[in-house]
Amino acid sequence: FYDVKEARDYRSANLNELEQSLARLKEVPAIRALQNEPRLGIDYRGNQNITPQEFNDVFGFRGVEFGNWVEQGRRQSDLNEAYDALMDLSKALALPPAALSLNGELGLAFGARGRGGVDPAKAHYEASHVVINLTKEKGAGSLAHEWWHALDNYLVRTNKPESPLGF
């Protein structure tokens, strides 16, 4: 537009069409399925439950917490799934599993730090507390994504030009 008046005149004359166009642009299909497909891959745990001590020995996270509303049986399956996901990430990045805890500075939470509401996050990384939270209902499948946020934050926070992981 030549000037603000011309833009406002156009908006006034075409408001209905512009609103419809905006509504179409806001319609974004969901990328993720409502439920995750079962994981297919290497059986790192030998079809056994991983214990909290084994999880800690392998990855060395600063801490792992479960929310009050995460039932005991659910805690075991969450721990098993996180173990498999982290081992997959370790293998994909050709890193030792302990490197994923970012020198033991990263924490991991299961349904302990999120909020519900309309269209809540499936997972999130809290830079202020250096922790990844996977929500109880929809966090599965988000761990690697949040881990990259943690790595990015680690590099900024420590002011290091390269990662502690060798890449």
Under a CB-based contact definition with an 8 Å cutoff, are residues 134 and 110 in contact?
Answer: yes
pLDDT at residue number 163: 59
| pLDDT at site 114 | 66
Q: What is the pLDDT of residue 139?
A: 63
1 vs 122, more confident: 1
Helices (H), the chain: 4-13, 15-26, 52-59, 72-93, 143-158
Give the mean pLDDT of 70-76.
84
147-158: string of b/e by CB count within 10 Å (b at 16+)? Answer: beebbebbeeee
Task: Give mean pLDDT, residues 64-83.
Answer: 86
Confidence grade of residue 84 (pLDDT, cut at 50, 70, 90): very high
Q: Could you tell me the end-to-end alpha-carbon distance of the chain, in angstroms, rounded to an integer?
A: 47
Tell if the pTM clears 0.75, that is, is over it: no
Tens digit of each residue's pLDDT (9 = 90 or more) over 9-56: 999 999 999 999 998 888 877 666 666 678 888 999 999 999 999 999
Q: What is the pLDDT of residues 91-140, one digit of tens each?
A: 999 999 999 999 899 999 988 776 666 666 678 888 999 999 887 766 66
Where is average pLDDT lowest: 20-34, 45-59, 67-81, 143-157?
20-34
pLDDT attached to residue 119? 64
pLDDT confidence of residue 122: 73
